[in-house]
Amino acid sequence: MNQLHPQTFRSRLFDSYGFLASKGLDIFRQYARDYLMDILKRGVVKGQLLVQDHQGTHHFGNADSGIEPVVLKILNDNMWLRICLSHDLGLSEAYMFGDFEVSSLQGLLNLWLDNRDGLADVSTTISAAFARYSAWAIGSLGRQSLSMAKQNAEMAYNVSNEFMACFLSEEMMYSCAIWGPEEGGPRGDLISGPTHGDLEAAQQRKIHHILEKARLRSGDRLLEIGSGWGAMAIAAARLGCQVDTVTLSMEQKKLAEARVCGAGLADRVRVHLCDYRSLPKEFEHQFDALVSCEMIEAVGVKHTKEYFGMADFTLKRDRATMVITATSRPEHRYEVFQSDDFGRHYHWPNSHLPSATSLAAAVQNDVPGKFVLYNLEDHGIHYPRTLREWGRRLEKNFTDEIVQNLQNTYPELQDPHKLAAFVKRWRYLFAYAEVGFARAYTSCMCWTFTRPENVSEACA
């Protein structure tokens, strides 16, 4: 059953008849405004912020910095309460539900990061308590059980194939591309502008890079965990491999199978609708390689032993390679318990971002002696342009036909306010993630593991 990501409980309090929408609570809105204005006055030291509300225009930061100011126009004072109650989530929901307009969303998020130490008190006792509880709940309450994993995947990937196609490249890779000199590199779009076909070329480069890391040869058998819409499986099959690919999304399975058939590769690719924990017994030690592209975040820290146990079970004992890519946190920000935030709530429910060393350590701890880390790459600088390309395509291709399709699937989107919030959720994602990757606040790692004593080529 298709369903949209639900609002947070705190966000629902601001709905038309919600408790916090009451005019009687204006005193709390005023208190939240005064509290946050005071923090902005003390905390914004780099850059310049102009806040416009019913009490006038308020200047924060260095007006003589020569940096273009970020202009924030407050349309609803609920914004102040949202941020006090929910911090990161509160800001995103204030944007989604129209509490403010801003001259540059990326500029606002960059200003937040530039001044994060001075703005630390924005996280109130209440929002910090909610964050600690959500981190504990996500990490400890089995939120990646078989049933929850299926529900999470449906929310993340069953939105609508037509909607996803309106911003993804032609092969529909929903993951970081790799930009080469032919496309001008990671900043080529900023230097000379985007060019038609650049995203497709960069995604094909990424696909072939991962398959090369997997050391695949014609006749090999590949297991892919996380099918997407079939692009990786099709590319591997064209190399002469037999491919089994696994997804929990019925929408992905249907389109992936149609694309495989359209490519004339139905005899080489099988798309399975199942969890990685429920693979058939006949898969035991049958595969030469396993690839998983930005899926392991959904596994959750409690289930890595099952995941890597699955890898050990399916891969051949001698010659086998495992390639995993994932959005990651840098070591100094990595935590086992990670709280609910915008991305984790509205796009990838209950996900967990590993660090470069935490995932490598998990492999050694969960299946000791079964794999060695052969190679580690950081693809983080390639993600900002990928996200900018997605954002441009969304604005260009979000047509009335796609709106009608979404409204047929999700009748609640017939409400223009909810439709606007849906579109803004994606705009916020692309800006939020672009800034995070551009500042190395997050990154995208690629780990290559092999069976022990498995050299990449003869060397003696």
Instruction: Write out pLDDT tens, residues 431-452.
Output: 999 999 999 999 999 999 999 9
Region 372-376 average pLDDT: 98
Question: Which is it for the CA torsion 57, 61, 62, 67, positive or negative?
Answer: negative
For residue 291, pLDDT over 50 is answered with yes
- Please compute the mean of the pLDDT values over residues 375-403 and round it to a whole number: 98
Q: Distance (Å, rounded) from C-alpha 144 to C-alpha 338?
A: 14
SS (H, E, C) 77-115: CHHHHHHHHHCHHHHHHHHHCCCEEECCHHHHHHHHHHC
Same domain, 117 and 239: no
In a domain, 133, yes or no: no
Q: Are residues 57 and 168 in the same domain?
A: no
Joined tokens for residue 157: 């990937």
Task: Say if residue 287 is in the same domain as residue 179.
Answer: yes
> Is residue 427 situated within a structural domain?
no
What is the distance between the alpha carbons of residues 70 and 84, in angstroms, rounded to a whole number? 21
| Those residues with Cβ within 8 angstroms of residue 355's Cβ, 6 or more apart along the chain or in another chain | 328, 329, 330, 331, 334
Does 192 share its domain with 98? no
pLDDT in tens, 362-371: 999 999 999 9
161 within domain boundaries: yes
pTM given for the model: 0.90
Instruction: Give the whole-angstrom CA distance, residue 351 versus residue 345.
Output: 9
What residue ranges in 265-404 does DSSP mark as E strands?
A: 269-273, 289-293, 321-328, 372-378
Whole-number average pLDDT of the chain:
89
404 in any annotated domain = no
Residue 9: inside a domain? yes
Shared-domain flag, residues 119 and 155: no
Look at the chain and report how many structural domains it folds into: 2
SS3 content of the chain, % helix, strand, coil (to 5): 50, 15, 35
Look at residue 14 and tell me whether its pLDDT is greater than 70: no
- Report yes or no: 269 and 263 within 8 Å, Cβ to Cβ: no
Are 117 and 166 within one domain?
A: no
Do 212 and 264 lie in one domain? The reply is: yes
134 assigned to some structural domain: no
Answer whether residue 209 shows pLDDT above 50.
Answer: yes
Residue 107 forms part of a structural domain: yes
Q: Quick one: 58 and 187 in the same domain?
A: no
Give yes or no: residues 73 and 161 share one domain.
Answer: no
CATH (domain of 7):
3.30.1050
| Confidence at residue 152, expressed as pLDDT on a 0 to 100 scale | 52
Q: Give domain status of residue 276, yes or no.
A: yes
Both 161 and 284 in a single domain?
yes
User: Half-sphere exposure of residue 185, counting CA atoms within 13 Å on the CB side?
Assistant: 4
Residues 159 and 118 in one domain: no
CATH of the domain at 365: 3.40.50.150
Say how far apart CA 264 and CA 266 lie, in whole Å.
6
What is the structure's pLDDT at 3?
53
Tens digit of pLDDT for each residue in 25-68? 788 889 999 999 999 999 999 999 999 999 999 999 987 777 88
Backbone torsion region of residue 197, taken as left when φ is above 0, otherwise alpha when ψ lies between -120 and 50, otherwise beta: left
* Enclosing domain of residue 109: 1-123
Specify whether the CB–CB gap between 321 and 372 falls below 8 A: no
What confidence tens digit (pLDDT) does each residue in 101-144 have? Answer: 999 999 999 999 999 999 888 765 454 544 554 444 545 555 55
Residue pLDDT, tens place only, 65-111: 778 899 999 999 999 989 988 878 899 999 999 999 999 999 999 99
User: Do 182 and 266 reside in the same domain of the chain?
Assistant: yes
- 3-class DSSP state for residue 448? strand
